[in-house]
Amino acid sequence: MSRLLPILSLIAALAGCAWTEPFPTQTLRVEVAEKDVVCRLSNDRGTWTMVAPGSVDVLESTTPLAVSCNKPGKPAGHVQLIARPSSLMPRVMMEGGARALTDPRGYAPHRYPSVVRVTLGQSLTQDL
């Protein structure tokens, strides 16, 4: 039994390190000159639908975020948002360095531009 105790202690300690939180989110503001425009935002983590102008929470990703906005009788507007690495410092301070640097999912913090400006009838790429 004395040999088993250190092993059981190690297992119990490591069990507390399991990652249980979802991917981080980012709030984006979608601006359109028209009112009541339906916009669909999507990346490899999901798809979100909202009415612009307004705000929406999306899951962060390292892949681009596609934004498509439609209003009946108007041509659609499309914007592709490029994800760029963000600073680790806020995450290190908020979450306690080790978790920010050793995310088991291989996730590195990336951010999209916080304000998306969509012009109906145009297709654009927006970067930070």
Q: 15-52, pLDDT tens digit by residue?
A: 555 444 567 899 999 999 999 999 999 999 999 999 99
Q: What is the pLDDT of residue 23?
A: 72
Architecture of domain 22-126 in this structure: Sandwich (2.60)
Give the Cα separation of 117 and 59 in Å (integer): 19
Model confidence, pTM: 0.70
Q: What confidence tens digit (pLDDT) does each residue in 96-111 have?
A: 555 555 554 455 578 9
Give the start-to-end residue ranges of the domains of the chain. 22-126
First to last CA, the chain: 59
